[in-house]
Amino acid sequence: MGDKRAHKCVRTCIICGYKRDKNNLLRLGIQGKKVVLDRGKRMIGRGAYICPTTKCIERARGNYRNCLGRAFKGRPFEKIEI
């Protein structure tokens, strides 16, 4: 009848565009005026995902190609604490 396979939540890294299961990515969120790592993946509001590689983390810290501005739909932030 129906396919009984478990659904996997796939997300895309905002830096490199690689698609992975969301459990294999780091989630970022906005807390006040800061972009922070959402360790529990439970923060309310819009989140953004990045690969746990040094390259993607460093590029996110430098706001590579305004990736964070686009991911958070222009919501203003002053600091990046990753």
Upper half-sphere CA count for residue 53 (Cβ side, 13 Å): 11
> Would you state the pLDDT for residue 81?
85
Residue 3 confidence (pLDDT) above 80: no
The single residue listed with the structure tokens 């509001």 is 45
Residue-level pLDDT at 25: 96
Could you tell me the pTM of the whole model? 0.84
What whole-number distance in Å separates Cα of residue 51 and Cα of residue 54?
A: 8
Predicted pLDDT at 12: 97
Read off the pLDDT of residues 26-81 as tens digits, 9 standing for 90 and up.
Answer: 999 999 889 999 988 888 888 999 999 999 999 999 988 889 989 998 888 888 88
Cβ atoms 49, 22 nearer than 8 A? yes
pLDDT at 1: 55
What is the pLDDT at residue 79?
84
Q: What is the CA radius of gyration of the chain?
A: 14
Give just the sign of the alpha carbon dihedral 30, 44, 73, 55.
positive
